[in-house]
Every structure is written in structure tokens, then in C-alpha cells.
């Protein structure tokens, strides 16, 4: 399984990357904003899963999700929004834009596991090579 | 639960929950006395909507670096200043988002800002100090403050 973590915060990318690698055996790439994520997603060797922060400069996570869903070649990409925005209105907005599920910060590895299970993603699968900016320690 | 303003108890509860989840689950964020001044590094987020104001989270340099080391799971000395500032910004972003979720909609959360050497906020001349709490962690001060801007006339 190959995941792309999209967050402008290095510390949050580090936390999420560690959980995905250490608990679920995923290969993890990182993108620092929505445009970097889009550039990566339309390239080859597409990730299976994108975890997308809401609040990012230039392009919000919801705008990124909407842009992804406008592209037929990315229609089946699984997207998990990861954010401290926890009101029903925000959750509804993210899901309406095309996110598949929603994970609220702060989260535990168990909470990530629950969301991955809801998405039908089995932990422990291995996939593509790890590349990308600033991988977590 | 929806609220119209923040109590010390609510601010403390949310801060401790998030601290425990991200930084230190040993319960070592200990409430202390009055705030005399802010720390060396202060993160803030603004809320605009049904409630307007700013949340601040302020650290000593040592506390900020140690908190960042927990988030990066890295030795504190190995982290850059940008890493430490990033961690402070992300922490106030999460605390602010969780506090905001208690407000009635609409309530918009800004991107976090991190400032060095900020004394008590002075740009909020008309604002009301709603809550200001000091905790100690690893014998270093952590300050969380909530300032509310006046209603528009």
C-alpha cells in the first residue's frame, strides 16, 4: 500500500508518516501543499491513498479534493481528510467535495486503523517505493 | 455541546487532551498560577464568525524544542528552528480547531502564525482576555490564552 500525506506542517507529516509506516506497513510519500500533491498524483506510480489536511496555504484540502475528483484518471483514488475541523458542516463539505472519509486531529493509531478499515484498506500491504520530500524519521 | 464563550475549564480540558494525545500522555501538564509573561515562542490562530478572537499557545525555548522532539520523534538537538516553529504552529492549529468546534457555526479557523519573543499580545487593545492559563511541563512554562474581539457595531 502506497500513501501520500498532504500537509503543510512537517510535524504532522512526520506523525502521520510514522503511523502509516510503523503500524500499517505502508510506503509513504509527502507533499507540502495541494499543488505539490496534484503534481505528484498526475505523475506515474500513483499512490493508492491520499491523506489530506484541510488548512493549507494557496489551495485548501477541500479544494484539492475537488480538483482531484474533476480528473477522471484520479476518480478512484481513496482520500482521507485529516483535520482539526470537526463540525458536522465541515465534515459534510469535505465528503461532498469527494473525500471518502474523515479523520479528526488529534488521532491515535487506533483511530487511523478504524478509518482505514472503514475504507476497506487492509494494513500490512506493501507497494511502491518510498520517495518524496522530507520523510519522517 | 455548543458554547458562546470559553471558560478556563473548557480551555484547560481541550489543551490537556491534545497535549496528552500528541506530546505526553503521562499527565504531566500541570496547572500553575498566574501568567506573568509569555514565552519565547508563541503560536496563534484566529477565529472569525459567530465568535471572533485569537487563541495563543506560548512556550519557553526549551519547552518548544522538547515538544517538537515528541512530534518529530527525533532528538531535540537535531531539530532546526523551522522544525520547532512548525510544531508550535501545528499544536495551536489543533487546539484552536478543537476549541472552535464548540462554537456555533459559522466559525472559520485561520492558518497558524508563530512569533518569536512575543510579550503579552498588545495588538488586541479592544479585546477581552477570556482565559489565560499557565501549565508547567518538564518544569517549563506553557501558556494558553484566549482573547475575544468586541462585537462589530
| CB neighbourhood size of A135 (10 A) | 16
Q: Are B128 and B150 in contact (CB under 8 A)?
A: yes
Whether B77 maps to a domain, the answer reads: yes
Cα separation of B31 and B137, whole Å?
9
Q: Are B30 and B135 in contact (CB under 8 A)?
A: yes
Average pLDDT of chain B is 91
Q: Which residue has the higher pLDDT, A44 or B20?
A: B20
CATH code of the domain covering residue B31: 3.40.1550.10
Question: How much is the average pLDDT of A35-53?
Answer: 93
Q: Any idea which residue has 475528483 for its cell?
A: A69
* Residue B133 pLDDT class (50, 70, 90 cuts): very high
Chain B interface includes A11 (CB < 8 A): yes
CA nearest neighbour of B29 among B89, B75, B85, B95 = B95
Interchain CB distance below 8 Å, A84 and B96: yes
Q: Which domain holds residue A66?
A: 2-118
Whether A127 maps to a domain, the answer reads: no
Whether A90 maps to a domain, the answer reads: yes
pLDDT tens digits for range A60-102: 999 999 999 999 999 999 999 999 988 899 999 999 999 999 9
Q: What is the 3-state secondary structure (H, E, C) of A54-77?
A: CCCCCCCHHHHHHHHHCCHHHCCC
Contacts of A110 in chain B (CB under 8 A): none
Q: Which domain holds residue B28?
A: 8-148
Cα separation of A113 and A99, whole Å?
17
Interchain CB distance below 8 Å, B72 and A55: no
Whether A124 maps to a domain, the answer reads: no
Contacts of B93 in chain A (CB under 8 A): 9, 55, 84
Whether B60 maps to a domain, the answer reads: yes
A-chain residue closest to B19, CA distance: A106
CATH code of the domain covering residue A44: 3.40.50.2300
Instruction: Give the lowest-confidence range in A1-10, A107-116, B115-124.
Output: B115-124
User: How many structural domains does chain A have?
Assistant: 1
Whether A85 maps to a domain, the answer reads: yes
Whether A8 maps to a domain, the answer reads: yes
Interchain CB distance below 8 Å, B22 and A15: yes
User: How many structural domains does chain B have?
Assistant: 1
Interchain CB distance below 8 Å, A106 and B18: yes
pLDDT tens digits for range B73-85: 999 999 999 999 9
Cα separation of B100 and B52, whole Å?
10
Whether B3 maps to a domain, the answer reads: no
CA nearest neighbour of B45 among B4, B101, B83 = B101
Cα separation of B76 and B95, whole Å?
22
Question: How much is the average pLDDT of A122-133?
Answer: 41
Cα separation of B27 and A11, whole Å?
22
Closest CA of chain A from B73, distance in Å: 7
B126 contact partners, CB below 8 Å, separation of at least 6: B149, B150
Contacts of A9 in chain B (CB under 8 A): 86, 89-90, 93
pLDDT tens digits for range B11-63: 999 999 999 999 998 878 888 877 777 889 999 999 999 999 999 999 999 99
Whether A136 maps to a domain, the answer reads: no
Question: How much is the average pLDDT of B127-140?
Answer: 92
Whether B97 maps to a domain, the answer reads: yes
Entry pTM: 0.90
Q: Residue B109 forms beta bridges with which residues? A: B47
Question: How much is the average pLDDT of A15-20?
Answer: 97
Whether A45 maps to a domain, the answer reads: yes
Amino acid at each position: 500500500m502506497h500513501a501520500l500525506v498532504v500537509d503543510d506542517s512537517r510535524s504532522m507529516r512526520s506523525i502521520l508518516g510514522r503511523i502509516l509506516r510503523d503500524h500499517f506497513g505502508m510506503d509513504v510519500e509527502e507533499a507540502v501543499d495541494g499543488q505539490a500533491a496534484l503534481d505528484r498524483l498526475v505523475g506515474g506510480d500513483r499512490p493508492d491513498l491520499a491523506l489530506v489536511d484541510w488548512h493549507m496555504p494557496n489551495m485548501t484540502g477541500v479544494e484539492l479534493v475537488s480538483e482531484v475528483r474533476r480528473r477522471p484518471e484520479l476518480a478512484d483514488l481513496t482520500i482521507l481528510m485529516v483535520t482539526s475541523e470537526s463540525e458536522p458542516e465541515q465534515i459534510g463539505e469535505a465528503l461532498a467535495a469527494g473525500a471518502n472519509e474523515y479523520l479528526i486531529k488529534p488521532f491515535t493509531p487506533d483511530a487511523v486503523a478504524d478509518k482505514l478499515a472503514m475504507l476497506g484498506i487492509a494494513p500490512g500491504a506493501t507497494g511502491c517505493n518510498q520517495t518524496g520530500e522530507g520523510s519522517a524519521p | 455541546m455548543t458554547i458562546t464563550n470559553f471558560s478556563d475549564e473548557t480551555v484547560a480540558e481541550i489543551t490537556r487532551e491534545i497535549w496528552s494525545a500528541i506530546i505526553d500522555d503521562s499527565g504531566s501538564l500541570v496547572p500553575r498560577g498566574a501568567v506573568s509573561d509569555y514565552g519565547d515562542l508563541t503560536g496563534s490562530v484566529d477565529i472569525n464568525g459567530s465568535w471572533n478572537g485569537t487563541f495563543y499557545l506560548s512556550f519557553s525555548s526549551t519547552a518548544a524544542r522538547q515538544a517538537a522532539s515528541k512530534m518529530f520523534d527525533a532528538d531535540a538537538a537535531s531539530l532546526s528552528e523551522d522544525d520547532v516553529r512548525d510544531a508550535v504552529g501545528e499544536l495551536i492549529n489543533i487546539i484552536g480547531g478543537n476549541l472552535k468546534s464548540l462554537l456555533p457555526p459559522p466559525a472559520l479557523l485561520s492558518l497558524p502564525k508563530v512569533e518569536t519573543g512575543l510579550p503579552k499580545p498588545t495588538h488586541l487593545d479592544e479585546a477581552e482576555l477570556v482565559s489565560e492559563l499557565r501549565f508547567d511541563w518538564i518544569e517549563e512554562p506553557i501558556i494558553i490564552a484566549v482573547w475575544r474581539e468586541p462585537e462589530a457595531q
